[in-house]
Chain A
Amino acid sequence: MNTFQAINDSMRLAMERDPNALIFGEDVGFGGVFRCTLDLRKKFGDMRVFNTPLTEQGIAGFAAGAAVMGTTVIAEIQFADYIFPAFDQIVNEIAKYRYRSGGMFDVGSLVIRAPCGAVGHGGLYHSQSPEAYFAHTPGLKVIVPRGPIQAKGLLTSAIKDKNPVLFFEPKILYRSAVEQVPVEDYSLPLGKAEVLIEGKDCTLVGWGSQLYVLDAVAQEAEKSGISCELIDLRSIAPWDCETVTNSVRKTGRLVIAHEAPKTGGFAAEIASTIQETCSMDLKAPVLRVCGWDTPFPLIFEKFYLPDLTRCLQAVRQAVSF
């Protein structure tokens, strides 16, 4: 399966598990602009899989209302770039629903899915990675999978989780990443990072499609005798501090990379926390390799992204500090 098929499979299983589960959003009825909801309307009917009017705040608010009645809701925002009209519903309503009611009401049965990240030619509004905006909001879980197996298992957990979850899917992986995905219903834990490669000189942390860049970085570094430990963070909120801390205590160095702009990006949170937990173990400053602090540009994408060259340079800088 590729990533969109794995996501489709997870949603199909959720709809089978729960006869009241709903899927809605803009253009999900015919299968979605990225084919993630392909054939689901045919299988489950247009009462359960339906198009909404073109209104992101409406989708998020509607999702909250259905969820507070106990309904399992998988809502889609067509691109993460267009989640901002729903920002108020997500940050002020969805995230705070349980807390403000003293636990009387919650919208824990909802997941909002949104394609995110660079795609080669997305320009300003089809490329964004908005996870850091939401990581600053207590009450939300924020997940970014790196491929088909992860996408299915994490989405299944997100749907079953009793908290509202934002599920950002790196859209460049929809078709490009293909793996042998188990056909049965399985879950992967939220809030847990995964060590993909073990190493001893430098810890690399990333998520989503950036992991493919970091994997290449680790291979290149290996050639010059630098052993990198590669971690997929998977959950942005709450994030797995323990796994990263354990790794940095061992390697003494940390490079974090993400596509989103550097200032206020989630790497800043990781860097400052690790500086608190590992101050005696750090042999070099924690380095961040990120998108520049500009809007995401169309024709300059190759110069904008934290690519192999820039990440490798950071690793060398950390090791030779």
Chain B
Amino acid sequence: MQFVPRWTAIKSVRNYFRPPRYSNELTAHMGPKEGIPIYRVMDDNGKVQDSSNEPKILYDAQRQGRISFYMTSSGEEATHIGSAAALESNDPIFAQYREIGTLMWRGFTLADIMNQCYSNHLDPGKGRQMPVHYGSAKYHFQTISSPLGTQIPQASGAAYALKMRGQKNVVMCYFGEGAASEGDFHAGLNMAATTESPVIFFCRNNHYAISTSLQEQYRGDGIGYGIPAFRVDGNDLLAVYNTTQLARKMALEKNSPVLIEAITYRVGHHSTSDDSTAYRGQEEIDNWTKASNPITKFANYLKNKNWWSDEQEKSLRDQVRKQVLTEFTAAEQQKKPAIDEMFTDVYDEMPWNLKAQREELKQILKENPDKYPLDQHVESPSLK
């Protein structure tokens, strides 16, 4: 592991994917010579290439009382778990929306996920935001918002506030490679660099921003701003873990932001509103899924160590599937939040205009109870 504080020429982004250049050396880059190489620990079969690189994930997991973990299969699971495992559990996380694994690592349950997605009265977000916009004060996970990149300068400010107080935490900030084109990415990194804030910028470079490919997103190779940068194989959980752990140490010791770019592939559609075969071939998806699947790779690693077997895998899958279905049904059956909650939390105290509007709605509901799905909601004390 070494730190290379030298800016050199940039080569085109196209070259670092075909063929990818891997390295077993965990190195921070200020700038690439021939495209920043992608750090990896395991090969595609889950075999550790250089045993000095092998971290103690399972040991750590066991110590934290986690015997298993499950992730929905989107190809980026290793980036979530590998990075979250290398953080302290009270390091604040600012995320984009495709980082549910980090929350699950910290203890967010299937029920928590379902309650948010169902907008029911058990959702601490009170059903106000779209599904997958999770947040948790308990797990130090800032509530997700839709506007892309906005969390990046926020993470810088949060890191500065923690540094000011002498708190030994870093702030973790996740975003996709598409969001990195927003002005807020520039603003956030530059602010963090000049204010010397301990924040890790974790870019999930999964090749696509909805339908837009890398070649349409940017032409450079890696990002400067005078901060150390890592490029890591995002499908290699151990590599992500090692990288994040080192980045965290550097951020705290040097009071400096650190950038991690995890190269991965968005296996699934962008969202339920997207059919990704409209802009990319099935062959491309299959290649990534087969050649470099983070779950298979990690499972192979465990099996090579004799820590995991096909039988255990089958039994875990069955168990988790059952649990998911149970929580799914339970969340579905819960009532929605009180309609009252539409008006609360806009301010700490409700101003006159909101009180008047709540009163107006109360009258409307009183006179037209059959026009609204009132029985689906928990009763509202102030709308009675």
Return the chain A residue nearest B341 by Cβ. Answer: A102
Residues A62 and B157 in contact, CB atoms below 8 Å apart: yes
Q: Does B143 contact A (CB under 8 A)?
A: yes
A139 & B346 in contact (Cβ 8 Å cutoff):
yes
Binds A, one of B44-52, B229-237, B347-355: B347-355
In the complex, what distance in Å separates the CA atom of A85 from the CA atom of B149? 14
Q: List chain B residues, Cβ under 8 A from A103.
A: 126, 344-345
B162 → chain A, closest Cβ, in Å? 6
Q: Is the CB of A105 within 8 A of B346?
A: no
**In the complex, which of the residues A22, A65, A69, A238 has the most CB atoms of chain B within 10 Å of its own CB atom?**
A65
Would A101 and B188 count as touching, CB distance under 8 A? no
Instruction: Say yes or no for B129: interface residue by CB 8 A criterion.
Output: yes
User: Which residues of chain A (180-226) have a CB below 8 Å from chain B?
Assistant: 191
Q: Choose among A50, A55, A63, A102 the residue that contacts B345 (Cβ–Cβ < 8 A).
A: A102
Is A162 at the interface (CB under 8 A from chain B)? yes
Residues of A within 8 A of B165 (CB): 20
User: How far does the alpha carbon of A70 sit from the alpha carbon of B165 in the complex, in Å?
Assistant: 11
By the criterion CB–CB under 8 Å, are A64 and B157 in contact?
yes
Q: How far is the CA of A318 from the CA of B298 in the complex (A)?
A: 79
B294 touches A (CB below 8 Å): no
CB neighbours (8 Å) of A102 from chain B are 123-126, 128, 135, 143, 345
Residues 149-189 of B at the A interface (beta carbon under 8 Å)? 150, 152-162, 164-165, 171, 183-184, 186-188
Chain B, range 99-131, C-beta contacts under 8 Å to A: 123-126, 128-129
- Contact with A163, one of B145, B155, B348 (Cβ below 8 angstroms): B348
Question: Which residues of chain A are within 8 angstroms of B129 by Cβ–Cβ distance?
Answer: 100
- Indicate whether B217 reaches chain A with its CB closer than 8 angstroms: no
Closest to A55 in B: B187
Cβ distance A1 to chain B, nearest Cβ, rounded Å: 30
How distant is the Cα of A147 from the Cα of B156 in the complex, in angstroms? 35
Return the chain A residue nearest B351 by Cβ: A238
Q: Is the C-beta of B373 less than 8 angstroms from some C-beta in chain A?
A: no
- Residues in chain B near residue A68, CB distance under 8 A: 142, 154, 158
Partner pick for B137 among A89, A93, A104, CB 8 A cutoff: A104
The yes or no answer to A303 lying at the interface (CB within 8 A) is no
List the B side residues contacting A141 at CB < 8 Å. Answer: 347
Q: Is the CB of B352 within 8 A of A65?
A: no
Is the Cβ of B187 less than 8 Å from the Cβ of A104? no
Size range of the chain B interface in the assembly = 35 or more
Decide if A69 touches B158 in the complex (CB within 8 Å).
Answer: yes
Interface residue? B190 (CB, 8 A): yes
Q: Which residues of B contact A89 (CB under 8 A)?
A: 150, 153, 184
Whole-angstrom distance between the alpha carbons of A100 and B129 in the complex? 6
Closest-by-CB residue of A relative to B353 is A238
CB-CB under 8 A from A61, the residues of chain B are: 150, 152-154, 156-157, 184, 187-188, 191
A88 to B154, CA, bound (A): 13
B161 to A71, Cβ gap below 8 A?
A: yes
Q: Collect the chain B residues with CB atoms within 8 Å of residue A293's CB.
A: none
Q: Looking at the assembled complex, report how far the CB atom of B42 sits from the nearest CB atom of chain A, in whole angstroms.
A: 35
Bound Cα distance from A55 to B225, whole angstroms: 14
A residues within 8 A CB of B135? 100-102, 104-105
Which residues from chain B contact A58 at a C-beta distance below 8 Å? 153, 156, 184, 187-188, 190-191
Q: Which residues of chain B are near A47, meaning CB under 8 Å?
A: 164
Does A108 have its Cβ within 8 Å of any Cβ on chain B?
Answer: yes
Asked if A250 is at the interface of the complex by the 8 Å CB criterion, the answer is no
Q: Which residues of A contact B188 (CB under 8 A)?
A: 58, 61-62
Q: What residues on A are CB-neighbors of B89 within 8 Å? A: none
Residues of A near B184 (CB, < 8 A) are: 57-58, 61, 88-89
A96 lies within 8 A of chain B by Cβ:
yes
Q: For A67, list chain B residues within 8 Å (CB).
A: 157
Smallest CB separation, B168 vs chain A (Å): 14
Decide: A162 and B348 in contact? CB cutoff 8 A: yes
- Name the residue among B161, B164, B190 with the largest chain A CB count within 10 angstroms: B161
In the A-B complex, the 8 residue pairs with the smallest Cβ-Cβ separation, listed nearest first, are A61-B153, A65-B157, A58-B187, A65-B154, A62-B157, A101-B143, A238-B351, A65-B158
Can you offer 9 A-B residue contacts whose CB atoms are under 8 A?
A61-B152, A61-B153, A61-B157, A66-B157, A88-B184, A98-B345, A99-B128, A99-B346, A104-B125
Q: A100-B135, A104-B137 are in contact. List 11 more A-B contacts (CB 8 A).
A: A20-B164, A65-B94, A70-B161, A92-B147, A99-B346, A100-B129, A100-B133, A101-B124, A102-B123, A104-B136, A105-B143
